[in-house]
Structure 1
Amino acid sequence: MQSSAQSPSKLYYGWIVVLVAFVTLLVSAGIRSMPSIFMVPFETEFGWERSGISGVISVGIFLYGLVGPFSAALLAKFGIRRMMVISLIILAGSLAVTPLMTQLWQYQLLWGVVSGLATGMMANVLGVTVASRWFVQRRGLVVGVLTASAATGQLLFLPLLARITVHEGWRYAVYTAVAVVLALAVVVAIFMRNHPYDVGAAAYGTEEVVKPDPFRGSIFLTPLLTLRDAMKNKTFWLLAGTFFFCGFSTNGLIGTHLIAACGDHGIEEVTAAGLLAFMGIFDLFGTTMSGWFTDRFDSRKLLFWYYGLRGLSLIFLPYALNATPTMLIVFSVFYGLDWIATVPPTVKLAAQEFGKERAGMVFGWVVVFHQIGASTAAYGAGLVRQITGTYSTTFVTAGFICLIAALMALRIAKKAAVVRAQA
């Protein structure tokens, strides 16, 4: 342990790390959302059913979440930079092979399994790990910014990729993604650092340069033992339950099916993707502000408002789809502000209840429930649409589910919401 020799006027390197992580999460999430653009083209070219394509997306979403707790252990053992570069190279490889596929099982392997696992390494757990290592002060804000990047990337690149798909074909959209991922891998290899100690700095908000403790547990066993202990805690189940509903109502439902739902109402694919991008812009603002709020207000009450307003937005969506374009824009603004603003307060509650050292793995398991919810919606909404010919029932059901989640958030123990300095 030693005093930091960094000049107060010098840019803190942690902000560079945040920027690299921000861009990585942005691109990774954007690629994770590409199957929503390919749903209709694949139906046309390969003759695959909507439920079969939705099933691939469902598996990818589930594995994307399942890898989270284990990615926390891998990041701790092998380092952030190494695991990010490896994940990006694997992702680029799966993308490069995609244009050669001809069967649904190949799509399942490349996008359901490989892409799901690779992007899962670059998900919310990465953002939480970066924030926990590099920041003591402004940690909530950093979590909010990095969370916003993941959600925004899922939406922001869709108009460009949709335009390429419509005018050049879906294969060219994939080639574009491969080029971006390979370029990003080089950036990560050059600029990413694992810990403030690597650059002789202290965590932001402290003065002492501390060497990180080596990871001593098992990569596979430690996350499972953490889950076993967390399952004995009521707060864990409330966080996991609300996050199940969060995933059901965001990337599993809207992120996967809104473009197709707009198509059912005669709205062009590029226009529908533009709506998602519009949501992404407002999500960037909303989730960043959520991080700022989380540093200052009761996280339980924040979650109550976030889930409640999201539920009302989803109940309003079927009306908006049948009304004027202005109503869809109104939905996009209010829903976008709340797209994934739930993450910063959820991370804070997990850290307060389970401690800073275990917060990453516990939150990783909470994210697993998020992705189970998302996976359920991704497949279930496609199946319901295939049977009934409409998404309206699913949208309204998701809205009422969010209202239940809002009430569940208030049941979290008060002590987890008021203890601030210990987190």
Structure 2
Amino acid sequence: MSDTHTVHASTRRAIHPAWRMTALAAAALLAAGSYTTIAGLITDPLVMTEGWSRAEIGIAVSINMVLYGAVAPFSAALMDRYGLRRIASAALTLLTFSSVLLVTVTPNTGWFILWWGVLVGTGTGAITMVFGATVANRWFVHRIGLATGILTAASVVGQFAMLPVLSMLMTHHGWHAPVITCGALAGAAALLVTVGLRNQPSDLGITRYGADPETDVGNTAPGVAEKALSRTLRVLLACLRNPRFWLLAMMFFLCGATTNGLMWSHFTPAAHDHGMVPTAASSLLALIGFANIAGTISSGWLTDRIEPRILLASFFLVRGITLAILPTIFTSQIDPGLITFAIAFGILDVATVPPTIALCRHYFGTDSALAFGWVNVFHQLGAGAMAITGGIIRDADGTYTPVWIIGAILCTVAAVLGAITTKIHTPRPRRNGTQTAAPSIG
């Protein structure tokens, strides 16, 4: 009896391998995330040094955005069939190869479309928060919201926090330097994932973090016997027939429009309209990125404790308020008002991800990662729509003020959709104290 007690006590004191898997997945997400903003960084140098047009570069960017969203659900199905480690390693290796290709082959717009549009779009699309959701679902029962927040924060670090470093490298060493740096990060992450990542807890002879070893049913990857393509399409068809999916999809469409579609595409040009120098605008974007880290981890922690649908409605509402205020405080210099905006917006920027993943997990069960992948496609569609619409409005009106106001209105609509989801029935705990498992949507 004492020996058994000692083993259990030692197990409780030890760090569960789920946290190690979270760290390895975070490295992969950081490396993939570093690619997502690099096109905007090297656009001007490519225009000036290579003589390319912005329209030609825009073709590659459009292809990248489409693949970034479309690849994710298929990647999730491939991870279920062939394992997290194989697919993540392949995607990171593809990103490394793409960087080598661009800096070693004589650059032209055709190569850039292949590199940024096809290769990077596919590689980063395979390592998005759909990958993070798969890792969290596969390895956690308790603290799953916190794990999701950590993984989301890692992706944000790659997207925004790395930007000043990449910008400095480009300033001193040309546009090749950030491309090589991103390739090195992807190569290092591929090595870490190949050596350390495991596909599921049963590979180590354990159960998920916080799971009861006698009742844990989530210890094996689902859908391994079904072809990835057929499973992904089956889940899509099931989602399209589910009104709860459409609520989440519409919220994430509006989420993408009021985050990526605004900040990645229009914040720097808007800052230029107000007389702000590019380095100052980049610093504010980096501040948004650092605030993202606190926001996503806090959101994950809250998702473990508060109704996620209420969180979504609250996040969207406050985000809308910050966008409505922005036109009144935009100046040519970084001042306390803009710093406050950057921190507030950054905290709310991707805080919507952990509660959305939690809702997908609750609504769609074993197919939740794929369902979230299709929800995320709508996020990218919203981002692309706002990127185009914002430019049209700026050309017609001569100012970005209507764009920020429209963004605030869209956030309010998303908050209403979040409130509507609270009226959807959710399973109640059984009388014996256990909660009914979320079913597969298939």
Same structural fold, with TM-score higher than 0.5 when normalized by the shorter chain:
yes
Q: 1:24 — aligned with what?
A: 28
Deviation at 1:384, TM superposition (A): 4.7
Deviations 1:92-145 (A, max 9, x none): 111222234644343222112210110111101111111111100111111121
- Partner residue of 1:342 out of 352, 356, 374: 352
Moved more, 161-170 or 407-416: 407-416
Deviations 1:39-77 (A, max 9, x none): 333333344454553443233122111111111111011
Matched, 1:184 2:189: yes
Aligned length: 419
Matched, 1:96 2:106: no
Alignment of 1:196-275 (within 5 A): 196-208=201-213, 210-212=219-221, 215-275=224-284
Deviation at 1:152, TM superposition (A): 3.1
Deviation at 1:392, TM superposition (A): 3.4
Alignment of 1:263-342 (within 5 A): 263-322=272-331, 324-326=333-335, 327-342=337-352
Q: Distance in 2 between matches of 1:72 and 1:286?
A: 25
Matched, 1:397 2:406: yes
CA contact (8 A) 1:68 1:121 kept: yes
Deviation at 1:399, TM superposition (A): 2.1
Deviation at 1:387, TM superposition (A): 5.9
Consecutive unaligned residues of structure 2, counting only runs of 5 or more, are 1-6, 430-434
* Identity of matched residues, %: 35
Residues 278, 55 of structure 1: alpha-carbon distance in 2 compared, 3 angstrom cutoff: same
Deviations 1:284-334 (A, max 9, x none): 111111111112212222111111111222222333333652222111011
- Partner residue of 1:131 out of 130, 136, 153: 136
Matched, 1:152 2:157: yes
Moved more, 234-243 or 204-213: 204-213
Residues 368, 144 of structure 1: alpha-carbon distance in 2 compared, 3 angstrom cutoff: same
Deviation at 1:17, TM superposition (A): 0.6
Matched, 1:406 2:415: yes
Q: Distance in 2 between matches of 1:383 and 1:121?
A: 31
Q: Distance in 2 between matches of 1:418 and 1:256?
A: 41
Moved more, 16-25 or 143-152: 143-152
Q: Distance in 1 between matches of 2:62 and 2:394?
A: 15
Consecutive unaligned residues of structure 1, counting only runs of 5 or more, are none
Alignment-mate amino acid for residue 318 of structure 2: L
Q: 2:60 — aligned with what?
A: 56
Q: 2:173 — aligned with what?
A: 168
- Partner residue of 1:69 out of 73, 84, 87: 73
Q: Distance in 1 between matches of 2:145 and 2:77?
A: 22
Alignment-mate amino acid for residue 349 of structure 1: L
CA contact (8 A) 1:59 1:375 kept: no
Alignment-mate amino acid for residue 404 of structure 2: F
RMSD of aligned alpha carbons: 2.3
Secondary structure class of the residue paired with 1:252 = helix
Give the TM-score of the pair, scaled to structure 1: 0.92
Q: Distance in 2 between matches of 1:309 and 1:286?
A: 13
Q: 2:91 — aligned with what?
A: 87
Deviation at 1:173, TM superposition (A): 1.4
Matched, 1:368 2:377: yes
Deviation at 1:180, TM superposition (A): 1.9
CA contact (8 A) 2:64 2:121 kept: yes
Q: Distance in 2 between matches of 1:80 and 1:42?
A: 36
CA contact (8 A) 2:132 2:151 kept: yes
Residues 38, 212 of structure 1: alpha-carbon distance in 2 compared, 3 angstrom cutoff: closer
CA contact (8 A) 2:100 2:180 kept: yes
Q: Distance in 2 between matches of 1:380 and 1:109?
A: 26
CA contact (8 A) 1:287 1:341 kept: yes
Q: Distance in 2 between matches of 1:318 and 1:52?
A: 32
Deviation at 1:170, TM superposition (A): 1.2
Deviation at 1:417, TM superposition (A): 6.0
- Partner residue of 2:43 out of 39, 46, 66: 39
Residues 213, 61 of structure 1: alpha-carbon distance in 2 compared, 3 angstrom cutoff: closer
Alignment-mate amino acid for residue 109 of structure 2: L
Residues 391, 114 of structure 1: alpha-carbon distance in 2 compared, 3 angstrom cutoff: farther
Deviations 1:175-218 (A, max 9, x none): 12222221221111111111111111111112427555561212
Q: Distance in 1 between matches of 2:170 and 2:95?
A: 20
Higher relative contact order (CA 8 A, sep 6+): 1
Residues 131, 188 of structure 1: alpha-carbon distance in 2 compared, 3 angstrom cutoff: same
CA contact (8 A) 1:242 1:409 kept: yes
Residues 249, 212 of structure 1: alpha-carbon distance in 2 compared, 3 angstrom cutoff: closer
Alignment-mate amino acid for residue 359 of structure 1: S
Q: Distance in 2 between matches of 1:175 and 1:108?
A: 18
